């Protein structure tokens, strides 16, 4: 792959976008309200916060649902086939809504749009889409909106560039917990994965920009930050300043935000230095998302993961030794091309051995353009479906067993909201990343509360308040 340099979006360009924002704000034809529909991972969730920030600054009100908005934007995902189909199905359905609201503008952005050939397909096949742009053009929404208001034709802009845009307005979903992107893109090219093709080459934000953002968030009363990147462990590559993820974490820890989380970590890049930072940190939470994907060395090799089962288990052992009781979670793919029953059983044995607090399990989904999509020996659907059932059953049992370690333990919960089951109870995540429910009211939302775990009910921890 040809060498590509990250494109730092210039201050001049960002000033230009602010001028477009103002033009849209003053345009009587502009939509009065917007609604953002988000698919996919936390990266997309945070991108949607930026979309909402720009739309707010263009003078639009947030509508409670898509039926009541004049501008609906779909921020799409294409990591698996079902994610893509769901997005397209929903966009198509909006065609009907337009019959009731002829002024409705339909926009689509995100990973799905960044796939090769997609921009053309939108213009030819999905003629009801008014506005479309890729992941690298997010900051240009004001300009594209301005163009759309001047024209009856679809406005489509997808560039194959690795941009970093600082200072894009953000409208955050939560007041107490905030996302901070530390790096964009991915260079790992796991053979099944489309992300490197739709998010571009790996590039890190300047450390000073990240630290400034964290300090501002602390000032505004944020209690938790979640650092985002497809592979946070390789943070720092390509920056002028010599740095890495372990050092970034250490500096963030010193700022004093009560809770720091991050995702995702790649097992091949999880260094001893990072584990030492976790051991001594004050604010980094005792939880770790470490996708394993498979427990079989041959499958891992063909996935291009560049670690083996032994290395993975060694990382788990070191993490647990440094941070006793750490909450471990993972991602697993079943039915990778050529996966035999025996190889699958290696994954089952690993899940049994590690004991995860939770696992996201997926049936392999071929993605056009990736290496694995071209492999012979695709596993039949019914075989893959049977394997995932068995894996889920095993994980369910192991999860229950792991939860037992919390019984009687003190935990601190950042309250997210009222419990779904009762309006006299609240729930949120403990420091280890597990959901905890206990007696409380709306007033507790956004606060950190000390509790003692008293019971385990359907994989949720129930607790009593201590203060």
Residues contributing to the site for ligand F3S (CB under 6 A)? 40-41, 43-44, 77-79, 111, 195, 198-199
Q: Is 372 in the site for ligand SF4 (CB under 6 A)?
A: no
Contact 246, 287 (CB under 8 A): no
Q: Among ligand F3S, ligand SF4, ligand SAH, none, what does residue 189 contact (CB within 5–8 Å per kind)?
A: ligand SF4
Contact string (CB under 6 A) for ligand SF4, positions 131-170, x = contact: ----------------------------------------
Q: Is 193 in the site for ligand SF4 (CB under 6 A)?
A: yes
Q: Where do contacts with ligand SAH occur on this chain (CB under 6 A)?
A: 79-80, 192-193, 195, 230-231, 264, 266, 291, 293, 331, 333, 362, 364-365, 367
Q: Is 302 in the site for ligand SF4 (CB under 6 A)?
A: no
Site for ligand SF4 in 247-266 (CB under 6 A): 266
Q: Which stretch binds ligand SF4 (CB under 6 A): 21-29, 63-71, 188-196, 255-263?
A: 188-196
Pairing between β-strand 448-457 and β-strand 460-465 as defined by DSSP bridges: antiparallel
Q: Is 231 in the site for ligand SF4 (CB under 6 A)?
A: yes
Closest contact distance (angstroms) between CB of 393 and ligand SAH is 19
Closest CA to 177 of 261, 249, 97, 66: 261
Q: To the nearest 10°, report the CA torsion of 134, 140, 146, 152.
A: -10
Label residues 355-387 b or e (16+ Cβ within 10 Å = b): ebbbbebbbbbebeebbbbeeeebbeeeebeeb
Which CB, 34 or 184, lies closer to ligand SAH?
A: 184
Q: Among ligand SAH, ligand SF4, ligand F3S, none, what does residue 438 contact (CB within 5–8 Å per kind)?
A: none
Which CB, 126 or 189, lies closer to ligand SF4?
A: 189
- With CB atoms as reference, the residue minimizing the distance to ligand SAH is 331
Q: Among ligand SF4, ligand F3S, ligand SAH, none, what does residue 43 contact (CB within 5–8 Å per kind)?
A: ligand F3S
Q: Which stretch binds ligand SF4 (CB under 6 A): 17-25, 190-198, 249-257, 311-319?
A: 190-198
Closest contact distance (angstroms) between CB of 372 and ligand SAH is 7
Q: Is 330 in the site for ligand SF4 (CB under 6 A)?
A: no
Which of residues 18, 86, 174, 189 is near ligand SF4 by CB under 6 A?
A: 189
Q: Among ligand SF4, ligand F3S, ligand SAH, none, what does residue 111 contact (CB within 5–8 Å per kind)?
A: ligand F3S
Which CB, 170 or 426, lies closer to ligand F3S?
A: 170
């Amino acid at each position: 792959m040809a060498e590509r340099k990250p494109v730092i979006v210039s201050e001049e360009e960002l000033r230009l976008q602010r001028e477009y924002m103002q033009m849209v704000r003053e345009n009587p034809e502009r939509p009065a309200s917007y609604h953002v529909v988000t698919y996919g991972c936390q990266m997309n969730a945070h991108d949607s916060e930026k979309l909402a920030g720009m739309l707010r600054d263009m003078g639009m009100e947030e509508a409670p649902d898509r039926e009541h908005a004049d501008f609906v934007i779909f921020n799409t995902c294409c990591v698996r086939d079902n994610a893509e189909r769901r997005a397209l199905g929903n966009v198509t359905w909006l065609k009907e809504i337009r019959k009731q609201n002829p002024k409705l503008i339909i926009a689509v952005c995100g990973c799905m749009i960044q796939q090769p050939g997609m921009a053309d397909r939108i213009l030819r096949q999905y003629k009801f889409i008014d506005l479309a742009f890729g992941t690298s053009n997010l900051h240009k929404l004001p300009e594209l909106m301005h163009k759309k208001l001047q024209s009856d034709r679809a406005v489509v802009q997808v560039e194959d560039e690795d941009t970093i845009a600082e200072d894009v307005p953000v409208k955050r979903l939560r007041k107490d917990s905030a996302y901070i992107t530390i790096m964009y893109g991915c260079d790992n090219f796991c053979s099944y994965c489309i992300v490197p093709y739709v998010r571009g080459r790996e590039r890190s934000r300047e450390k000073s920009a990240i630290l400034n953002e964290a300090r501002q968030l602390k000032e505004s009363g944020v209690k938790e930050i979640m650092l985002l990147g497809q592979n946070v462990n390789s943070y720092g590559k390509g920056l002028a300043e010599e740095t890495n993820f372990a050092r970034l974490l250490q500096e963030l820890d010193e700022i004093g935000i009560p809770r720091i989380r991050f995702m995702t970590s790649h097992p091949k890049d999880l260094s001893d230095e990072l584990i030492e930072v976790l051991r001594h940190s004050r604010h980094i939470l005792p939880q770790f998302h470490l996708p394993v994907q498979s427990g079989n060395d041959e499958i891992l090799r063909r996935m291009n993961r560049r670690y083996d089962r032994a290395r993975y288990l060694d990382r788990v052992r070191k993490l647990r030794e440094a941070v006793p009781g750490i909450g471990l979670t993972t991602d697993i793919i079943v039915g990778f091309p050529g996966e035999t029953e025996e190889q699958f059983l290696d994954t089952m044995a690993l899940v049994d051995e590690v004991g995860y607090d939770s696992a996201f399990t997926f049936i392999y989904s071929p993605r056009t353009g990736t290496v694995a999509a071209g492999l012979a020996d695709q596993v039949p659907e019914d075989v893959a479906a049977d394997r995932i059932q068995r894996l889920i059953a095993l994980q369910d049992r192991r999860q229950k067993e792991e939860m037992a370690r919390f019984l009687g333990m003190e935990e601190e919960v950042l309250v997210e909201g009222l419990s779904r089951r009762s309006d006299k109870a609240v729930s949120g995540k403990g420091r280890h990343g597990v959901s905890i429910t206990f007696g409380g009211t709306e007033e507790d939302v956004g606060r950190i509360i000390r509790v003692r775990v008293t019971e385990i009910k359907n994989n949720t921890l129930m607790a009593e308040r201590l203060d």
